[in-house]
Amino acid sequence: MTSPEPTIFERIIAREIPADIVHETETLIAFRDIAPQAPVHLLVVPKTAEYATVAELAEADPALLAEVVATAKLLAETHADGHYRLVFNSGEAAGQTVFHVHAHVLAGGLDEGSLA
Ligand code: 5GP
């Protein structure tokens, strides 16, 4: 069986390509989005590549999803004023381009146009 191509996030986690990493634990990593849609736009990414969407993660590992949410709050407090929007795109037609579950943390002065 051939394994699927690693996603861009797996390559960032493996340090094969650079990213502006702002937070890392054993289970997740957070870095700045390369094409920010808000003054602060961070991605919080579980290291496991097993789950493509937030619903899959919620069903299989709710504790890890809770870590993602807690990390988003922490980062919004340390990188902005603590107010933030948390976005999980699920499915191509909804704008998902990387099929490795991730949370967009949008903060630092949001307006109507800053949906990731
Ligand atoms: P999605 O569209 O799947 O919800 O979000 C994927 C996000 O990953 C996009 O906002 C996109 O800008 C970001 N992204 C794609 N490639 C890279 C990359 O190589 N480095 C970083 N830091 N972000 C990336």
Neighbours of 56 (CB within 10 A): 14
pLDDT in tens, the chain (116 residues): 455 789 999 999 999 999 999 999 999 999 999 999 999 999 999 999 999 999 999 999 999 999 999 999 999 999 999 999 999 999 999 999 999 999 999 999 876 555 55
**For ligand 1, is residue 96 a contact (CB within 6 Å)?**
yes
2 C-beta closer than 6 A to ligand 1 = no
* Nearest residue to 41 (alpha-carbon basis) of 95, 85, 4: 85
pTM of the model as a whole: 0.94
| Distance from residue 60's CA to the centre of ligand 1 (Å) | 24
Active site residues: 102
In the chain, domain spans = 8-107
HSE on the CB side for 39, CA within 13 Å?
11
Prediction ipTM score: 0.99
Q: Is 8-107 assigned to CATH 3.30.428.10? A: yes
Give the distance (Å) from ligand 1 centre to CA of residue 11: 12
